[in-house]
Structure 1
Amino acid sequence: MFIDDTIAAIATAPGEGGIGIIRISGERSLEVAQDIFKSMSNKLIKDYRQRTLIYGNIVDNDTVIDEVLLAYMKGPNSYTAEDVIEINCHGGFISVKKILELILSKDVRLADAGEFTKRAFLNGRIDLSQAEAIIDVIKAKTDTAHEVAQSQLEGSLSKKIRELRENVTEVLAHLTVSIDFSEEDVEEITYKTLKDKAEDLKTEIKKLYDTAESGKILRDGLKTVIVGKPNVGKSSLLNSILGENRAIVTDIAGTTRDVIEEFVNIKGIPLKIVDTAGIRETEDIVEKIGVEKSKESISSADLVIMVLDASRKLSEEDIEILENLKSKKSIVLLNKTDLEQQIEIDKIREYVDSESIIKISALKHEGIEELHDRIESMVYKGSVKHSSNLMITNSRHKDALLKAYESINDAINAIDQNMPYDFIEVDFKNIWDYLGYINGDTVREDLLDTIFANFCIGK
């Protein structure tokens, strides 16, 4: 990628729409735009106030391509911190395509995936964690996920990382003085002071790291699988959660033969709910395939919701499914509680804790709110939700914090053994580097290419 090139791309989704937007960025943006744009007042673009919409036509020589509104944003006060032109045309496929082709014919290059945002990062307008938050804002599936992503875009994570790195820098400065001027009349930092600062830093890093599990769920969604024997009410439960008749419900066992997937928002948590075929022994080839898919879904799920018929005693098939829940985050729903209860709850407690056993009636929509509350408490673990929107949602950030945490433990061990300051300094330099990996201060070029390749072309 050549950072000095002028680039262009379509910034709106493909297909028909009310408006299509083409974005140009680089030092030749104004020159190119003026060559293809004619305002209705015949004034030049630069003669208008910046960031105002100018009404006119895009023309190829004397041929009008489309009637448009154009905005000029002079760098560094633009998205990329370069000169930027945005053209708002009619949202038809042909209109945006012809305008982009005309722009590219003026010695302008088609932008790479994420190149506009990458330029914003390289030009210092945003740091790397803010750049990644842009994708999270676009892909947010719930209001809560959007709030967390927006908070990161505004710099909440960046600010916290800067604070942590400043604390590390302060320790490194003291260590450098103690190492380089040990024979001078300067006050050396004591091992006790080092230990106190290291412990404080460890606490802060751990607190941030502990938000990663909940943050990842908010970002990617919680893969939730509904399992159970045939005819226990799995499809009725799915319909009740979704608030619509998405799955076919009958009294005939084996009605659901394939995996049904839907996204649903439960208390701000995005759930990818999977309704599976009833697990039982069967000679039906199609149903047998569905049962195998159900078993595979359990192993890959983040959360398993098992539905049991409370009006019947536990069967061997029920016990077999419960055995598979021991190593999974799970909830057991006792359905059909409006009927006489026959199920042995004490036996179920051998496999899951009491808080994860909920009585419901999927048909009458009873107990569903309690299920929502339980899912919320499992995701947030009772504390994370109420702290702030400062949350780790990116696996790259989580990995960097883990490495920083391991380095702070190495530093504490070295301090406890009264090792020379040179050894301790190495550990603190590692912490400084790993934290810088999050906001992009110490990131490699090849990693940047990988990160921005996940963006769309026009962003």
Structure 2
Amino acid sequence: MYIDDTIAAIATAPGEGGIGIVRISGKKSLDIADNIFKSVSGKKIKEYNPRTLIYGNILEEEKIIDEVLVAYMKAPYTYTKEDIIEINCHGGFLSVKKILELVLKKGARLAGPGEFTKRAFLNGRIDLSQAEAVIDIIRAKTDLSYNIAQNQLEGNLSSEIRKLRNKVTAILAHIEVSIDFPDEDIEHLTYETLYNKSKELKEDIIKLYETSETGKIMRDGLKTVIVGKPNVGKSSLLNAILKESRAIVTDIPGTTRDVIEEFVSIKGIPLKIIDTAGIRETEDLVEKIGVEKSKEFFEKADLIILVLDASRELSSEDIDILNNIKDKQAIVLINKIDLPSKLDEQKIKEYINKDRVIKISAIQRTGIDKLEDEIASMVYKGDVSQKDSVMITNVRHKDALGKAINSINDAIRSIEDNMPLDFVEVDFKNIWDYLGEVSGDTVSEDLLDTIFRDFCIGK
């Protein structure tokens, strides 16, 4: 499905740099480039072998715009499976802008967000899950999240989906044979076989689906909120985790008045750590706004880290927070263990599992390794390891697999009730379609537009 028009965009980040790239894709790419580029040898680009870097200048009416290297890549062996030209110029804002404007003037149009990758999908070079992996690679914040995205780009998720769809195809073939040849013995065998194959397929889909929670964290980061009363050591904890003095630390309650956000990698897990203002009653207007923000983040967090002061007795504010984290993913840190203890630890364990209560000294970085181990344990839950080759990281994929599981449950109920095979066939066709949504085999144009609009223009 080759697209008729030719697109162009700046493929490098804006600002100063060693090099800037203007990318052109489409059937007019070579003609446009030959029209504005003059090699030092005097030869046209088409006279060189494809994939050769050609030195010369970009000209507008004989005026040199920039000194460049041009690469011509011939279809179909390119990223988009179309002819591609890449103009490597000096990495300044004006140089790439002027070259792009000239390319557009000569007949290309400005590419939309992610349109190069969209064309790679539409032209069959990659499937939709691989296309989505491209943006995951760009946005990866840890080595592990990068490896998972790279794994998906290589087609490992596509391969798993293809295996599942092949199983659905085999089941559908079995059903259609039974419908076409409704012999009583065959039908009895069909229901028994269908039940066993359906249960096996369900287990395979669920196994993939259950990686989604961990996968989403690897892709988007674990939103982790540090909460507690003023002056319990929240900012000291943030500094200890980051291994730098990011937050101001004083003995004055209410020092942190706004929300501080930082990304950090803990055992390969990207954490979006949010240090909030101390939760307490206050008449200070600015601090009061900070406290309200803290409560908002508290409700939206994936993980809550409550910091308590070992040198002080539990207060009513501490008890209120403990009550609020009962049914949430939370860890309680007893900080300042280097000071004489006045805290009733048994009381804390009435609200939270004792394994989630960790003693630390944020100032001395004592116990921080135990906190990191517990966070890793909570994310992986023993079910998913870093060595798993395929992981669902995308909410869209999770939703499609969830729908497939619902359909297979409907199919199993129909089989158990000995419903006509036509009903069962409908459920399995739905499963086929839902699995196809992951790879893009069954997807609407509107959904494609939604997916690719989050991409940068030049990708």
TM bracket, shorter-chain basis? over 0.9
Alignment correspondent of 1:167: 167
Separation in structure 2 between the aligned mates of residue 240 and residue 149 of structure 1, nearest angstrom = 29
Separation in structure 1 between the aligned mates of residue 6 and residue 252 of structure 2, nearest angstrom = 64
Separation in structure 2 between the aligned mates of residue 194 and residue 387 of structure 1, nearest angstrom = 33
TM-superposition CA deviations, 1:219-264 (whole Å, max 9, x none)? 1111111111111111110111111111111111111111111111
TM-superposition CA deviations, 1:294-344 (whole Å, max 9, x none)? 112111111110000112221111101111111211000000111222211
Residue 233 (1) aligns with residue 233 (2): yes
CA apart distance, 1:49: 2.1
The worse-fitting range, judged by mean Cα deviation, of 98-107 and 132-141 is 98-107
Q: Is the 8 A contact 2:24 2:85 kept in 1?
A: yes
Alignment correspondent of 1:278: 278
CA apart distance, 1:386: 4.1
CA apart distance, 1:182: 2.7
Residue pairs, 1:58-457, within 5 angstroms: 58-182=58-182, 190-457=190-457
Separation in structure 2 between the aligned mates of residue 50 and residue 188 of structure 1, nearest angstrom = 62
TM value normalised by structure 1: 0.97
CA apart distance, 1:127: 0.2
CA apart distance, 1:47: 2.2
SS in 2 for 1:76: coil
Separation in structure 1 between the aligned mates of residue 383 and residue 53 of structure 2, nearest angstrom = 47
CA apart distance, 1:172: 0.5
Distance of aligned partners of 1:331 and 1:170 in 2 relative to their CA distance in 1, 3 Å threshold: same
Separation in structure 2 between the aligned mates of residue 69 and residue 385 of structure 1, nearest angstrom = 45
What amino acid is aligned across from residue 153 of structure 1 in structure 2?
Answer: L
CA apart distance, 1:393: 0.6
Q: Is the 8 A contact 1:261 1:272 kept in 2?
A: yes
TM value normalised by structure 2: 0.97
SS in 2 for 1:59: strand
CA-based RMSD of the aligned residues comes to: 1.6
Q: Is the 8 A contact 2:175 2:190 kept in 1?
A: no
The worse-fitting range, judged by mean Cα deviation, of 373-382 and 289-298 is 289-298
CA apart distance, 1:276: 1.0
Distance of aligned partners of 1:426 and 1:189 in 2 relative to their CA distance in 1, 3 Å threshold: farther
What amino acid is aligned across from residue 99 of structure 1 in structure 2?
Answer: I
Q: Is the 8 A contact 1:225 1:304 kept in 2?
A: yes
Separation in structure 2 between the aligned mates of residue 187 and residue 424 of structure 1, nearest angstrom = 13
SS in 2 for 1:306: strand
Separation in structure 2 between the aligned mates of residue 278 and residue 177 of structure 1, nearest angstrom = 68
TM-superposition CA deviations, 1:189-243 (whole Å, max 9, x none)? 5211111111111001101110111111111111111111111111110111111
Q: Is the 8 A contact 1:182 1:188 kept in 2?
A: no
Q: Is the 8 A contact 2:226 2:275 kept in 1?
A: yes
Separation in structure 1 between the aligned mates of residue 2 and residue 449 of structure 2, nearest angstrom = 13
Alignment correspondent of 2:35: 35
Q: Is the 8 A contact 1:174 1:188 kept in 2?
A: no
Separation in structure 2 between the aligned mates of residue 51 and residue 108 of structure 1, nearest angstrom = 21
Q: Is the 8 A contact 2:21 2:88 kept in 1?
A: yes
TM-superposition CA deviations, 1:142-188 (whole Å, max 9, x none)? 11000000000000100000000000001101111111233699898
TM-superposition CA deviations, 1:72-97 (whole Å, max 9, x none)? 11111000000000110001111111
CA apart distance, 1:387: 4.7
What amino acid is aligned across from residue 109 of structure 1 in structure 2?
Answer: R
The worse-fitting range, judged by mean Cα deviation, of 371-380 and 58-67 is 58-67
Q: Is the 8 A contact 1:224 1:303 kept in 2?
A: yes
Separation in structure 1 between the aligned mates of residue 332 and residue 323 of structure 2, nearest angstrom = 12
Q: Is the 8 A contact 2:174 2:190 kept in 1?
A: no
The worse-fitting range, judged by mean Cα deviation, of 252-261 and 355-364 is 252-261
Separation in structure 2 between the aligned mates of residue 187 and residue 34 of structure 1, nearest angstrom = 67
Separation in structure 2 between the aligned mates of residue 408 and residue 385 of structure 1, nearest angstrom = 27
Separation in structure 1 between the aligned mates of residue 118 and residue 428 of structure 2, nearest angstrom = 29
Kindly, what percent of the aligned residue pairs are identical? 70
TM-superposition CA deviations, 1:117-136 (whole Å, max 9, x none)? 11100000000000000000
Alignment correspondent of 1:12: 12
What amino acid is aligned across from residue 279 of structure 1 in structure 2?
Answer: I
The worse-fitting range, judged by mean Cα deviation, of 315-324 and 395-404 is 315-324
The worse-fitting range, judged by mean Cα deviation, of 50-59 and 179-188 is 179-188
What amino acid is aligned across from residue 196 of structure 2 in structure 1?
Answer: D
SS in 2 for 1:411: helix
Separation in structure 2 between the aligned mates of residue 312 and residue 227 of structure 1, nearest angstrom = 16
SS in 1 for 2:385: helix
Separation in structure 2 between the aligned mates of residue 266 and residue 131 of structure 1, nearest angstrom = 28
Separation in structure 2 between the aligned mates of residue 185 and residue 219 of structure 1, nearest angstrom = 51
